[in-house]
Amino acid sequence: MTPEIRMELLEAIGEMCRYFPSYRLCQMIANLGTLAGAETPDALARLTDAELSRTARDTVRRRKECLGGNPPEVLEGDTLPAFLPEIEVELVRRGQHNPELSFAQLVQHVAEQTRAFAPFDFWDVEDADFLRALREQTGALAGRLDFGRP
């Protein structure tokens, strides 16, 4: 993963969110994985950021064409548009600490952490739970850094 490709992917995820506002992040990543030919969690984890970005961009392009370039309305229950900015910041931070992990692997890792308080499979992880797991990991990391412990 290069920082440039990761940023391109994050931009594509933002566009996906704009044109598919009802998707949850994990649902979006699972769908993109399937479209890219990754039909299992292990295959999803092997997708590169470039492959995921390319698939997201192609999907957005087709969606824009279908909608005449006008994104759909964000409905009351659509949570990702509101949470995505903070989620992106935290995932960028995780990526900097774990540059060997693909974006899909980072998302899978955080989704797994949600199981401590929300018993959902990857596809069904709610954005609020995903963000909670990110915040809790950030707090735990900050606590270790503050005390100088590894």
Measure Cα distances from 75 to 26, 79, 139 in Å. Answer: 19, 9, 31
What tokens does 121 get?
């499979």
Average pLDDT, the chain: 91
Side-chain-side CA neighbours of 23 within 13 Å: the count stands at: 20
pTM: 0.90
| Three-class DSSP category at 138 | helix
pLDDT of residue 51 exceeding 60 = yes
pLDDT classification of 39: cutoffs 50, 70, 90? very high
Return d(Cα 110, Cα 121) in angstroms, integer.
Answer: 12
- pLDDT for the residue numbered 36: 97
- pLDDT for the residue numbered 137: 83
Tens digits of per-residue pLDDT, 61-119? 999 999 999 999 999 999 999 999 999 999 999 999 899 999 999 999 999 999 999 99
